Structure 1
Amino acid sequence: MRKPLEHYFGFSAHGTNWRTEILAGFTTFITMAYIIFVNPAILHETGMPIAAVTAATCLCAAFGSILMGALANYPIALAPGMGLNAYFTYTVVKGMGVPWQSALGAVFLSGVIFLLLTFSGIRQLLVAAIPHQLHAAVAGGIGLFIAFIGFRNAGIIVPSPATTVTLGNLRAPHTALAIFGLLLIAVLQTLRVRASMLIGVLGTMLLGILCHQVHWQPTRYSLASLSQTAFHLDLHGALHIGALEIVFVFLFVDLFDNIGTLVAVAQRANLLTADHKIPRLNRIFFADATATIVGSLAGTSTVTSYVESASGVAAGGRTGVTAIVTGLLFFLSIFIAPLVGAIPSFATSPALILVGGLMVTGLSQIEWNDPGIAIPAFLTVTTIPMTWSIANGLSFGLTSYAALQLLTGRARKTFKKDWMLYVLAVLFLLRFIYLAQT
């Protein structure tokens, strides 16, 4: 049984094995396990039962990740997206007064549209429209984004009214423990220890327990709680609330966050083909769209690919087995979520920081001597962390690239082949104009 599975997932082609893939799956899960508690906390403010949303979060993350691994054979895990859950709660439900049932209906509609765009080949065209010169820039920008999140969660950087951010209190217990974890993982990586991320996270957590810095309060809930949100979506209400804007936002942000994450992880894992294409793209998008539909039916906001998947790739994950292991752990979390809640942010933040560092190494592939490539790449790299959005960074980079191609006459030679690039640039411009008016 093992040999056919190894052949299906391409272990020999990717130079991997079961031990590496399983460890990578554990690593990805640990770095993104926070979503099990953060997502329900945000959606609970809409009036949704927290136990039901917790179960829905675990269930759809498990379904999406396993489907991605088994069908598309990529080490990319899925879960309800941060940012999209905040838009669902604070803009749609609390800001616009839309019932959470109708908002779930809007998420369902966006998932169905995703599926139609996938079957029609439009999503694949959009990915192909992104110049391969920007692939490394997207990966680098997401690397800085992940590192910024890690530094913030560790308390190494904190908000400042004078300078936006500044150095935190390095003597604070949680920050000191995070610095210990950073050093531990760095030493293990220097020694070429494959499980460095996982050992670093668990080692830092153990030290935190010994120092009485891990505070854990178990909560009681079961899979039966899911009945409070499952199939409660209101499609009729979604169609009568002027849902076009809401569906478009869910659609747009998820689409380009997903594309950005996909390009970055594939770039880091060396999964791109020689002509810079992403294999099995239709399967990837099918898994993503289906997971969003299942998430809306279960009772949670849009499901999307997670940038934390890069931590599993950094641990050696190269196939769908990594995502399947992550998905199985999410499924087990339905029953043991209180135990997962014991993993503190000071233990996971060092892994995020160093994964970010690994992802920026690809920036050396960019032709920095060519302003037509260097300027869009720079805008992509910097605006992803500075605007806290992968979609925004991709928008700035691609639009500026298209503008420079047109204004310098380069577009005349490649317009027929790259027409979708310019269509996409126009859509991005219209989006920026729309955002400026809201």
Structure 2
Amino acid sequence: MTQTTRPIDPGTGVSAPSGLDRYFRLSERGTSTRTEVLAGFTTFLTMAYIVLVNPAILGQAGMPVAAVAAATCFAAAFGSILMGMVANTPLALAPGMGLNAYFSFTVVQQMGVPWPVALGCVLISGVAFLILTLTGVRQMIVAVIPAHLFAAVAGGIGLFIGFIGLKNAGIIVANPATFVALGDLKAPGAAVALFGLLAIGALSVWNVRGAMLIGIVATTLVGWFAGLVVVSPEPYSLTALTGTAFQLDLAGVFGVGGKHGLGLLEILFVFLFVDLFDNIGTLVAVTKRAGLMDAAGRIPGLNRILMTDAVATIVGALAGTSTVTSYVESAAGVQAGGRTGLTAVVTGVLFLLTMFVAPYAQIVPLAATAPALIIVGGLMLLPITEVAWEDPYSAIPAFLTVAMIPLTFSIANGLAFGITAHAVLKLVRGRITTADWFLLLLAALFVVRFFWMSAAA
């Protein structure tokens, strides 16, 4: 008779683990191949919106939308599969929300940096992240940032993303008297975006998996009927990726320093800093929920996880997209039972398959992706509940960080205000020690930056 089951281990009398089981340690972590596959699908459905949203954001920086869509799929597939195979963690990666907005709206549009040069900055930040991880310097950087600023950065980026979504939808418009005002809600773009907001909101409260992706598709259909979509699809080919792949301008990166003064350092710092701390926060949330964190609160294999993220950012920049980072939506897969890297591998394979339709993402109007930005921005506010708002020592730096990111349209400004305020209050309160030299150095550099910006204004 043909053997259809796994061989029996004579020592234990139970089925011996398969190669897949041994590699991903499925039995050891109390899971199965079926559970991991379902968890991978769940993670994919909760974060697949990035295939539509990322091209919409980076497209406003002048990048070819179809190429960015293909690059987004490729970077997410590469990063997720690498994370699963190397770190054996149910953590999926993709171009990060917030950093793509900073890339498009601040670096390219406000600072006037060409997008190939901005991609070069992403690549260098990925290399720097890898070096910091290998040398252990990242531990020194992490140590000077208090927990309440971790939370504040996440919340501030959430408000930033939500504000961009409201602006793209036409729900909020510029006003010379009040800076911003309510737009014309009867206008086709705003009306379609409100429909999308209602659709995604309703699907979310009904706990429908893939609510954002379904909502974006439904809103796009409504946008077609409203005349918001001009269909001009490019050829159905993966060659769309060549529009951004290897188009980064490393030589131009060093020209940024000469043209914009400290602009290069600011761009690199934000890309590096936000990626580093966004990963730490996501790792803590996902691994804790998955029961992978040890008794001392440490994350097993942290260096492998961070190195994987750095390599994914480098590959993403070469493919033609903004910084690749860990996604908190991975928690949805963990909730569905994912406990190993097989979950991330499945998610990555699904992104790889999505590349075959990625070039058609350009037919999705801003009014359809804006509701997703608004919803994602709102969900990112959860960490600010961790701030001790009753304590001025925590509340003042946290508030400045949260407020200045969206109000100045710059993550860098929010970080600068928050870290500087934290250093000053720590000094005033008499808590500064010799171990805080790096914090004081960062604060001093930010003060110099403020004076430089004032002089250049």
Alpha-carbon spacing, 1:426–1:76, altered in 2? closer, same or farther (3 Å): farther
SS state of the match for residue 77, structure 1? strand
Tell me which residue corresponds to 1:403. Answer: 424
Give, in whole Å, the separation in 2 of the partners of 1:360 and 1:284.
Answer: 25
Of 258, 267, 292, the residue aligned with 2:275 is 258
1:383 aligns with 2:404: yes
SS state of the match for residue 401, structure 2? helix
1:348 aligns with 2:363: no
Give, in whole Å, the separation in 2 of the partners of 1:422 and 1:242.
Answer: 24
Aligned residues of 1:31 and 1:311 also touching (Cα < 8 A): no
Q: Tell which deviates more after alignment, 162-171 or 286-295.
A: 286-295
Aligned residues of 1:65 and 1:78 also touching (Cα < 8 A): no
Alpha-carbon spacing, 1:278–1:349, altered in 2? closer, same or farther (3 Å): farther
Tell me which residue corresponds to 1:204. Answer: 219
Give, in whole Å, the separation in 2 of the partners of 1:104 and 1:142.
Answer: 20
Tell me which residue corresponds to 2:308. Answer: 287
Tell me which residue corresponds to 1:78. Answer: 95
SS state of the match for residue 159, structure 1? strand
Corresponding letter in the other structure for 1:374: A
1:113 aligns with 2:131: no
Q: Deviation at 1:178? A: 1.9
Q: Deviation at 1:29? A: 2.6
Give, in whole Å, the separation in 2 of the partners of 1:148 and 1:9.
Answer: 44
Tell me which residue corresponds to 2:46. Answer: 27
Q: Deviation at 1:301? A: 6.5
Aligned residues of 1:108 and 1:296 also touching (Cα < 8 A): yes
Give, in whole Å, the separation in 2 of the partners of 1:237 and 1:364.
Answer: 42
Of 55, 58, 81, the residue aligned with 1:39 is 58
SS state of the match for residue 251, structure 1? helix
Q: Deviation at 1:158? A: 1.4
Give, in whole Å, the separation in 2 of the partners of 1:136 and 1:253.
Answer: 16
SS state of the match for residue 169, structure 1? coil
Tell me which residue corresponds to 2:443. Answer: 425
Per the normalisation by structure 2, the TM-score is: 0.74
Q: How does 1:348-367 map to 2 (within 5 A)?
A: 348-367=369-388
Q: Deviation at 1:312? A: 6.2
Alpha-carbon spacing, 1:276–1:231, altered in 2? closer, same or farther (3 Å): same
Q: How does 1:35-434 map to 2 (within 5 A)?
A: 35-36=54-55, 39=58, 42=61, 58-68=73-83, 70-72=85-87, 73=89, 74-78=91-95, 81-84=100-103, 108-220=123-235, 222-224=237-239, 248-263=265-280, 265-266=282-283, 269=286, 271=288, 280-298=301-319, 300=320, 303-305=323-325, 309-310=327-328, 327-328=348-349, 331-332=352-353, 334-412=355-433, 416=435, 418-434=436-452
Q: Tell which deviates more after alignment, 255-264 or 177-186.
A: 255-264
Give, in whole Å, the separation in 1 of the partners of 2:299 and 2:453.
Answer: 31
Give, in whole Å, the separation in 1 of the partners of 2:362 and 2:425.
Answer: 48
Task: List gaps (5 residues or longer) in structure 2.
Answer: 1-17
Percent of aligned positions that are identical: 43
Give, in whole Å, the separation in 1 of the partners of 2:282 and 2:303.
Answer: 16
Alpha-carbon spacing, 1:351–1:70, altered in 2? closer, same or farther (3 Å): farther
Give, in whole Å, the separation in 1 of the partners of 2:135 and 2:164.
Answer: 36
Give, in whole Å, the separation in 2 of the partners of 1:239 and 1:365.
Answer: 39
Give, in whole Å, the separation in 1 of the partners of 2:314 and 2:424.
Answer: 36
Deviations 1:161-218 (A, max 9, x none): 2211111111122222222222233333333434433333333333334555443210
Give, in whole Å, the separation in 2 of the partners of 1:337 and 1:372.
Answer: 47
- Rg larger for: 2
Corresponding letter in the other structure for 1:127: V
Give, in whole Å, the separation in 2 of the partners of 1:433 and 1:281.
Answer: 38
Per the normalisation by structure 1, the TM-score is: 0.77
Alpha-carbon spacing, 1:43–1:340, altered in 2? closer, same or farther (3 Å): closer
Deviations 1:106-137 (A, max 9, x none): 66544433322221111232123211122322
Give, in whole Å, the separation in 1 of the partners of 2:404 and 2:414.
Answer: 5
Give the aligned CA root-mean-square deviation in angstroms: 4.2
